[in-house]
Structure 1
Amino acid sequence: MADKPKGPTSYFPSIERQYGRPIADWLADLESSGLEGHKAQVDWLKAEHGLGHGHANALVAYGLNPGKYADYPEA
């Protein structure tokens, strides 16, 4: 049995279920947003896409440092 994801990636299954989009799409949106910095990106996801704070925070944390969370290769 594979280890359960930890950190931001533990939110990914819930994000995909709740918002109906794959994580790779969210990460592409963040990259193309032109926004820099954690807070700016979290605020944008919440305002523009209606994500909750925890979900937005998880996507941004992963997007800014994906190598730190290598346990989610599908992203």
Structure 2
Amino acid sequence: MTDEPIKGPASYFPSIEKKYGRPIAEWQELVRRHLPAKHMELVAMLKNDHGMGHGHANAVVAYTLAAASG
């Protein structure tokens, strides 16, 4: 295991969990339930329906979609 800092969308995860009170796995499942919606549609859903900020919503969606595409 390395001591390198986490980069990319996952670097937002600790603050997302702290601010919104739900684990990232729950946010990812919510995004997956709304597929095959487009990236920005998913971001808008998190912002409008769950009060998430744009950067946090974008990070969750980007990470989730990247993981789904393999």
TM-score, normalization: structure 2? 0.87
Return 5+ residue gaps in structure 1 as ranges.
69-75
- The one-letter code sitting in structure 1 at the alignment partner of 2:61 is V
RCO greater where, 1 or 2, for CA within 8 Å and sep 6 or more?
A: 1
Residues 59-70 of structure 1: pairs in structure 2 closer than 5 A:
59-66=60-67
CA RMSD of aligned residues (A): 1.8
Return 5+ residue gaps in structure 2 as ranges.
none
- The one-letter code sitting in structure 1 at the alignment partner of 2:26 is D
Extract structure 1 runs of 4+ deviating beyond 6 A: none
How far apart are 1:37 and its partner, in Å?
A: 1.1
How many positions carry a matched residue from both structures?
A: 68
Residues 10-25 of structure 1: pairs in structure 2 closer than 5 A:
10-25=11-26
The SS at the match of 1:8 is helix
Percent same amino acid among aligned pairs?
Answer: 50
TM-score, normalization: structure 1? 0.82
Could you tell me which residue of structure 1 aligns to residue 31 of structure 2?
30
Alpha carbons of 1:67 and 1:48: their partners in 2 closer, same or farther (altered >3 Å)? closer
